[in-house]
Amino acid sequence: MIRTTPFHERLAALNETGLWEHWSNHLAATRYQMSEKFEYFAIRNSAGLFDSSPLYKYRIHGLDAERFLAGVLARDIRTCQPGHAQYTIWCDDRGFVVEDGVILRHGPSEFVLTAAEPNLAYFGELIGRMDVTIEEVSDDWAVLAVQGPRSRDLLSALAPAVGGLPYFGLTSTRIAKVPVHVSRTGFTGDLGFEVWAPAADALTVFDAIWGVSRGQGVIPIGMIALYMARIEAGLLLLDVDFHSSRFAWTDADRSTPIELGLGWMFRDLANDDREFIGGDAIRREIAGKTSRWKLSGLVVDWQDYDRIYDRAGLIPPKDHTPIQDEYYIYDDDLNQLGYATSQMYSPILQRHIALARVPLDRTAPGSRVKLELAVNHRYEYFDANVARTPLYNPERRTA
Amino acid sequence: MPKTKTTSATADRTYDAIVIGGGHNGLTNGAYLAKAGLRTLVLERRHLVGGAAITEELRPGFWFTTFSYALSLLRPDIVQDLDLVKHGFMPILMPTTFCPKEDGDYLLLGQDHGENLREIGRQSKHDADAYDAFNHDVLKVIQAIKPLLDEVPPDLFSDDPEELIALAALGQRFRKLDKKVLHDAVRLLTGSAADFLDDYFESDVLKGYLASSAIIGTKVGPYSQGSGLVLLYHILGEHDGEMGAWSFHKGGNGGFTQVLSRAAQALGAEIRLESPVERVITRNGRATGVALADGSEFYAPVVVSALDPRRTFLELVEPRELPTDLVETIQRFRFQGTSSKVNFALDGIPRYPALGDRIDQYRGFTNIGPSMEYLERAFDDAKYGWYSKRPYLDTAIQSLVDPDMAPPGKAVMSCFVQYTPYHLRESDWDAEKENLGDTVQATLESFFPGFGDLVLQREVRTPLDIERTVGLSEGNIFAGEFLAPQMFFFRPAPGWAQYRTPIDGYYQCGSGTHPGGCVMGAPGKLAAGQILKDRARAQA
Ligand SMILES: Cc1cc2nc3c(=O)[nH]c(=O)nc-3n(C[C@H](O)[C@H](O)[C@H](O)COP(=O)(O)OP(=O)(O)OC[C@H]3O[C@@H](n4cnc5c(N)ncnc54)[C@H](O)[C@@H]3O)c2cc1C
């Protein structure tokens, strides 16, 4: 049976399209408005409300919780103080990424980790003799992401503590008398927060947030608008930009954090005395420069784009709908170099953009590749320039 | 901005190029020249740049698009060439178009194609697929005509081989067109919007809505020959690749010109505000600089007027410096502004009775022009020197989709008004200004009962105000009417459609040059291309 999230009653009433998708066995709105692009603009100009409740959530606690996580997560959890959150990954012992998620550190030995897929068995088997308990608390919490330039003002009107939260900060406070956690996290690359409410009180919290949002251009946003924002922000999506090494059939379907552009997580590796899963392999990869490719941004050359469509007698389409599928990239002699995993027309950048796996000798911003797209029922090769992610990165995101 | 110091050395006041007027075309022109490495100065008369495209906080927290209010024709290459995104360029989608009817019903178009066809079918079943056919036919015409917006018109009167080749290429392009597309193009370019629309549709409200684009800014009614050209012009633009679609810019069209101004400065252009140019200095038939109203002078071998043709040819220089036939053509150039703005600060969002408490219908244009007959009757008043008793209104509540434009729960509403002829019979706009405001408000009240109770503030801008504030002669919003004899080869005058003037080093780049008015930047961009080409030639 398909399930609904704790916010469903309110959100269903706001869904004008009747379109839902299935996300971890929950109904999740594809879009609420006839145009997801309008929802996208709410993220960039006001705020969008996204229901992230279907994410898996694990409470990890016990005296050895920090030591445990320092060993199983690839990013050093010891750098995440209580009252903070961290974007993190876990790897296999060959240094390939298993999955990613956000971890909240509520106390010295009290953590909550989110994940796109179930991971209880995976982590459970790694506990050994440590004093660590892992429980799945997915259904205990309703999570509402409030994302966009107005998000801080809206939430601090309800819970003043939110006003001072730094990027990836975490606080426990109340909204409409309900005890909630608020983390300054999200999947849009904009200023934004996620409100964690006890599932039973979800509607009370939603109503309070909805109440202060009236007259401010705030609307709920669905999956497509979220994907648009995340591609611009260069945020990775499981089973699109990478696959879990646990379930991959070949190494071609596996990626290392360095290849995914997450090398920044290991900037301090020289001083990091942890033994963590995949650590040796990652050290070897960095030292031996053995990465096979790097996930990079691409910006399609607009003149070339228009020229190719004009030549075909077509009006150049500028479709913001994210294409989360493989499209190949080539050099000038049409030798395949790699492939794009996500692409779209970005309304804010006014360009066609993509996230793509490019060979290491082309990762410098401005390097050129050709992106293969079908035009008028045949393949054409569009000039594209490699660019640093995030492709869109407003100051307010971290300010 | 510091005022000119009269003591400063001449060198400080010498540039490679001086642009007169900081409207969007002057800014675009200055930005392209600066990008090419020219030391460029843009001189703006007012305390802010933008000309007709400005946004002003006329009441704390309420941002008014005083004049121009939406984007579509802006050339996409300008966005890219000038790196506007880096400086904050952000068009905002309009998800709806709302057309109230006089009988209380309405036509509400949105983002879902299937829903739109049903909604049109509610007015006329016949018109549903006719709407698709119309769009398809018109898109083909747009595809054929649109490249002209990005090209300097060939000079019909020149024997220069380059011009002859350009002319031949133009002819070739049209000859290659599908017969039907060419015929449709000619029908639109020469005929009336009503004739064209009647061939497709039955529904009055649909035709009223589409015909509204055929009269904007122009002294024609939908039944007038020539309204087809205005219609075509207004749908040649795009929003994110959607042909004919309009968008807001974040912070209004003034938000856009601020972006442009930042980009121009980042490229090295210097902008001086409160610097009205009195005249262009010429020596031996060459422009050498400009003199400001305060007597200070700036020098450059290239001087570009971004003002309208009347000011460019008859005010900034002495007509006796110009050929008589050019002076005559410019004297006959039709301005006859007919548009006004009435902008409101509102205490809330108006309600339309048939839609109860819904307000989502106002997220794009709300078109008060329920039939072609309504529009034509509004035009009738103007023919005889008066403003419309029931005017055509193109309204927009931008704050609904751009909440930074008004305090939470409040709104700003922009109303573009027609017809309001510049020359009133037996009265003047100083006397009629507030009466016009009342007429507009009464019209709105008739569609949105209770509208008046929401009004916190009302700002009326008549053609006379447009002329006085922006400098557009007779308040013509396009710096000259969109009439066939004033377009393309002939804009602003036969033989002078390539941004040059008879005075060496003196150029024109305002909306009175090809392709014409609207926030499109093409005149500024194309003129810069000519200037740079001439410079390269002179240096070769
Ligand atoms: C009421 C109204 C509504 C409109 N709505 C739209 C719309 O929604 N969308 C659209 O695309 N177009 C619209 N238009 C048309 C469009 O705004 C204009 O065609 C365009 O902005 C003109 O730009 P420009 O740079 O050519 O000239 P202008 O904007 O007229 O700029 C000329 C500049 O020169 C300055 N100036 C004048 N004299 C001097 C001098 N002697 N010395 C120095 N500076 C001087 C002026 O102050 C002004 O800043 C509208 C116009 C009006 C008036």
Same domain, yes or no: A182 and A269: no
Mode of pairing for the β-strands spanning B392-396 and B365-368: antiparallel
State whether A48 and A152 are in the same domain: yes
Name which residue sits closest to atom 3 of ligand 1, judged by CA: B68
pLDDT digits (tens, 9 = 90+) for B362-411: 999 999 999 999 999 999 999 999 999 999 999 999 999 999 999 999 99
Vertex A37 angle, CA A36 and A43, to 5°: 95
Residue B2 reports pLDDT greater than 50: no
- Provide the pLDDT confidence category of residue B8 given band limits of 50, 70 and 90: low
Q: Are residues B77 and B140 in the same domain?
A: no
Nearest to B95 among A35, A46, A349 (CB): A35
C-alpha to C-alpha distance for A59 and A103, rounded to whole angstroms? 10
* ipTM greater than 0.85: yes
The CATH number covering residue A265 comes to 3.30.70.1400
**C-alpha distances in Å from residue A63, one per residue of A69, A72, A98, A132, A170:** 12, 16, 25, 7, 21
Among A290, A314, A348, residue at a domain's last position? A290
Rg, C-alpha atoms of chain A: 21
Angle at A321 between CA A367 and CA B90, to 5 degrees: 75
Q: Tell me, what's the pLDDT at B540?
A: 84
Identify whether residues B447 and B373 lie together within a single domain: yes
**Whole-angstrom distance, CA of residue B313 vs CA of residue B325:** 12
- CA A123, CA A138: separation in Å to the nearest integer? 15
Cα–Cα dist A248/A252, whole Å = 8
Residue span of the structural domain in which B363 resides: 339-419+421-461
Option in B92, B95, B143 nearest A45 (CB):
B92
pLDDT digits (tens, 9 = 90+) for A182-225: 999 999 999 999 999 999 999 999 999 999 999 999 999 999 99
Q: Which atom of ligand 1 is nearest to the CA of B277?
A: 42
Specify whether A169 is located in the same domain as A27.
Answer: yes
Residue nearest atom 4 in ligand 1 by C-alpha distance: B68
Together in a domain, A30 and A168: yes
Nearest CA in chain B to A345: B240
Q: Domain holding B308: CATH number?
A: 3.50.50.60
Statement to judge: residues B480 and B457 lie in one domain = no
A3 lies in some domain: no
Residue closest to A86 by CA, chosen among A100, A102, A109: A102
Residue B448 sits in the same domain as residue B383: yes
Domain boundary among A200, A221, A242: A221
Are B82 and B168 in a shared domain? no
The encoded tokens of residue B232 equal 């075509």
Chain B residues touching A38 at Cβ < 8 A: 93, 95, 111, 363, 401
**A352 and A339: one domain?**
yes
Q: What is the pLDDT of residues A239-250, one digit of tens each?
A: 999 999 999 999
Q: How far is A262 from chain B (nearest CA, A)?
A: 25
The verdict on residue A197 lying in a domain is: yes
Mark out chain B residues that contact chain A at CB-CB < 8 A: 76-77, 79-80, 85, 89-93, 95, 110-112, 115, 139, 143, 240-243, 250, 363, 400-404, 408-410
DSSP code of residue B443: H
With respect to residue A133, please indicate whether it lies within any of the assigned structural domains.
no
Q: Is residue A229 part of a domain?
A: no
Closest CB from B90, B112, B250 relative to A34:
B112
Q: Is A214 helix (H, G, I), strand (E, B) or coil?
A: coil
Q: From CA A365, how far away is CA A258, in angstroms rounded?
A: 17
Contacts of B112 in chain A (CB under 8 A): 34-35
Single out the residue in B408, B432, B461 at which a domain terminates. B461
Domain boundary, last residue among B461, B492, B525: B461
What is the crossing angle of helices B204-212 and B372-383, to 10°? 50
pLDDT of residue B529: 98
A49 lies in the same domain as A175:
yes
Mean pLDDT of chain A: 97
Same domain for A195 and A299, yes or no, is no
- The mean per-residue pLDDT over the stretch B90-100 comes to 96
d(CA B313, CA B344): 37
The H-or-E segment that residue B256 falls in is helix B252-266
- Residue in B80, B240, B403 nearest the CB of A46: B403
Q: Determine the Cα angle at A179 with ends A173 and A180, to 5°.
A: 65
Are residues B456 and B408 part of one domain?
yes
CB-neighbour burial class of residue B151 (10 A; exposed 0-12, middle 13-18, buried 19+): middle
Nearest CA in chain A to B114: A34
Number of domains in chain B: 3
- Asked whether residue A236 is domain-assigned, the answer is no
Nearest CA in chain A to B401: A217
Closest in B80, B89, B95 to A302, CB measured: B80
Main-chain phi, psi angles of A114, to 5 degrees: -105, 150
Q: Establish if B114 belongs to a structural domain.
A: no
Q: Give the number of other CB atoms < 10 A from CB of residue B371.
A: 20
pLDDT in tens, B429-442: 999 999 999 999 99
| CB atoms A347 and B250 under 8 Å | no
- pLDDT at residue A270, rounded to an integer: 87
**pLDDT tens for each residue of A294-346:** 999 999 999 999 999 999 999 999 999 999 999 999 999 999 999 999 999 99
Averaged pLDDT for residues A157-186: 98
pLDDT the model gives residue B9: 63
Please tell me whether residues B81 and B42 are part of one structural domain.
Answer: yes
Residue B257 has pLDDT above 90, yes or no: yes
Residue B383 CB partners (closer than 8 Å, separation 6+) = none
> Does the pLDDT of residue A27 top 60, yes or no?
yes
**Burial class of residue A332 (count of CB atoms within 10 Å of its CB; 0-12, 13-18, 19+):** exposed
Q: Side chain identity at B223, as an amino acid letter?
A: Y
> Which residue of A14, A15, A34 is the best one to mutate when testing the B interface, meaning the one whose CB has the most B CBs within 10 A?
A34
Assess contact for A226 and A188: CB atoms under 8 A. Answer: yes
Same domain, A187 and A278: no
- Asked if residue B7 has pLDDT above 50, the reply is no
Convert the pLDDT of each residue in A346-380 to its tens digit: 999 999 999 999 999 999 999 999 999 999 999 99
Q: Is residue B279 part of a domain?
A: yes
> Can you give the pLDDT at residue B233?
96
Q: Of all residues in chain A, what percent carry a pLDDT higher than 70?
A: 100
Tell me the C-alpha distance between B98 and A385, whole Å: 41
| Section A382-397 average pLDDT | 97
**Number of domains chain A contains:** 3
In a domain, A271, yes or no: yes
E strand or H helix at B441: helix B429-447
Answer yes or no: do B319 and B352 share one domain: no
Return the best residue to mutate from B75, B511, B513 for the ligand 1 pocket (most ligand atoms within 8 A of CB): B511
Q: Is the pLDDT of residue B4 over 70?
A: no
Which residues form the domain of A48?
8-55+139-221
Give me the CATH number covering residue A214: 3.30.1360.120
What's residue B11's pLDDT?
75
Contact B402 A348 (CB under 8 A): no
B110 and A150: CB-CB below 8 Å? no
Q: Which of residues 230-249 of A touch B (CB under 8 A)?
A: none
Q: Is the pLDDT of residue B416 over 80?
A: yes
B155-173 burial, b at 16+ Cβ within 10 Å, e below that, comes to beeeeeeebeebbeebeee
Pocket lined around ligand 1, Cβ cut-off 6 Å = B 20-26, 43-46, 51-53, 67-70, 73, 276-277, 306-307, 339, 341, 416, 466, 470-472, 477-479, 510-511, 517-519
- Residue A134: inside a domain: no
Same domain assignment for residues B412 and B298: no
In a shared domain, residues A337 and A278: no
Q: How far apart are CA B136 and CA B115, in angstroms?
A: 18
Q: What is the mean pLDDT of residues B512-526?
A: 98
Asked whether B306 and B19 are in contact (CB, 8 A), the reply is yes
Q: Name which residue sits closest to atom 15 of ligand 1, judged by CA.
A: B518
> In 3-state terms, what secondary structure has residue A195?
strand
Instruction: Indicate whether B447 and B525 sit together in one domain.
Output: no
CA distance B432 to B450: 24
Separation CA B40–CA B55 (nearest Å):
25
The answer, yes or no, to whether residue B1 has pLDDT greater than 70, is no
Cβ neighbours of residue B431 closer than 8 Å, sequence gap 6 or more: none
Task: Answer whether residue B297 is part of any domain.
Answer: yes
Report the pLDDT value the prediction gives residue B288, as an integer from 0 to 100: 98
If asked whether residues A303 and A366 sit together in one domain, one would say yes
Find the length of chain B: 540
State the pLDDT confidence band at A105, using cuts at 50, 70 and 90. very high
Residues A155 and A50 in one domain: yes
A376: left (phi > 0), else alpha (psi -120 to 50), else beta? left
Residue B484 DSSP one-character state:
G
The whole-number pLDDT of residue B10 equals 75
Residue-level pLDDT at A329: 98
Is A244 inside a domain boundary?
A: no
Same-domain check for residues B313 and B377? no
What is the SS3 assignment for B294?
A: coil
Of A217, A345, A351, the CB nearest to B401: A217
Task: Tell me whether residue B8 is in a domain.
Answer: no
Ligand 1 mutation target, pool B3, B67, B273, most atoms within 8 A of CB? B67
Do A193 and A154 fall into the same domain? yes
- In Å, what is the CA distance from B75 to each residue of B86, B87, B152, B239, B524? 17, 17, 14, 10, 11
Are residues B111 and A44, on separate chains, in Cβ contact within 8 Å? Answer: no
| CATH number, domain with residue A346 | 2.40.30.110
What is the per-residue pLDDT for A184? 98
Among A17, A30, A38, A346, which would you mutate to test the B interface (most chain B Cβ atoms within 10 Å of its Cβ)? A38
A44 lies within 8 A of chain B by CB: yes
Whole-angstrom Cα distance, residue B184 to residue B181?
Answer: 5
- Same domain (yes/no): B284, B329: yes
